[in-house]
Amino acid sequence: MRLAALLSLAGLTLAHAGSAPKSPGDIGSAAAEEAPQRVPVNPGYGAGFIFTRIRYQSAYSRGWGRRGGGAWAHDYPRGDWNLSKLLAELTFIRAETEGTNVLELDDPELFKYPVAYISEPGDWGMTDEQAERLREYVLKGGFLIFDDFEGRQFDNMAEQLRRALPEYTPIRIDIDHPIFHSFFSMEDIYFPHPLVNVTPIYWGLFEDNDPTKRMLAIINHNNDIAEYWEWSADGWFPVDITNDAYKLGINYITFAMTH
């Protein structure tokens, strides 16, 4: 199914391209002004799936990030909301479509939600207590999605993971892994990063470091699939590539909820 059909099902359109920012550099400020009115934060625990994003302090500045709103908030909230709409329309997952979560790792509420998304982990930092809570969350069945980081930013992501899960090592995976076929059977996962000239690499974190056992995390290195989600109604990026980015997100959530 092409993106235009997916967006139509979800109540989104491509008609806003004329009001889009004039350059990618203006994207973040425009989203910050528009989207908070559209997507309330933390709708509260219920029967449905709620997209949950992790808010963190920067590993470098010890503040809330380099950008206004923090690196954790890149593509928030429209990316989270748009994916939730498509999950609800296209799958049997009862996804909440009126709001999404923003939680910190030491918030006890996190354990109510089985999937957590961490944006820009090249800037991600944790307290010791948060590292302990992350370990507890993952070992109790939680699933992590890392997205939106490139190159040597991988090093900080890996360092933070080692603090929480020192016995686990990221293992590179390819299109043959079942996560890429859990709802949509994908033919290509190496579509380009929306803004940076890099080649995507996919890594998994697995129980006992065994790729045949439970996946604990999916790591999108050299990629930013939420950028495509965020701007899918504004015509910034090619339709077919945006379509594949949505397929990845839906596959990730479906896989996490069924394994």
pLDDT at 41: 75
pTM of the model: 0.85
Q: How far apart are CA 13 and CA 234, in angstroms?
A: 8
Task: Return the closest-CA partner of residue 216 out of 182, 152, 168.
Answer: 168
Confirm if 213 and 155 have CB atoms less than 8 A apart.
no
Residue ranges making up the domain that contains 64: 3-258
The pLDDT profile of the chain, 259 residues, written as one tens digit per residue, is 444 555 544 444 333 322 333 233 332 333 333 444 445 678 888 879 999 999 999 877 544 443 345 899 999 999 999 999 999 999 999 999 989 999 999 999 999 999 999 999 999 999 999 999 999 999 999 999 999 999 999 999 999 999 999 999 999 999 999 999 999 999 999 999 999 999 999 999 999 999 999 999 999 999 999 999 999 999 889 999 999 999 999 999 999 999 9
Residue with tokens 């590292």: 131
Torsion of the alpha carbons at 252, 125, 56 and 48, rounded to the nearest 10: 30
Give the number of other CB atoms < 10 A from CB of residue 1.
11
Strands (E), 24-182: 52-54, 57-58, 101-103, 115-119, 124-125, 143-147, 171-173
CATH of the domain at 155: 3.40.50.12140
Q: How far apart are CA 48 and CA 64, in angstroms?
A: 29
For the chain, how many structural domains are there in total?
A: 1
Pair of tokens at residue 207 = 């129980």
Q: Which residues of 198-218 are buried (b: 16+ CB within 10 A; e: fewer)?
A: eebbbbbbbeeeeeeeebbbb
Residue 119's DSSP bridge partners are 147
DSSP annotation of 124 reads E
Q: How far apart are CA 142 and CA 116, in angstroms?
A: 8
Confirm if 223 and 147 have CB atoms less than 8 A apart.
yes
pLDDT at 205: 98
CA 242-245-184 angle, 5° bins: 115
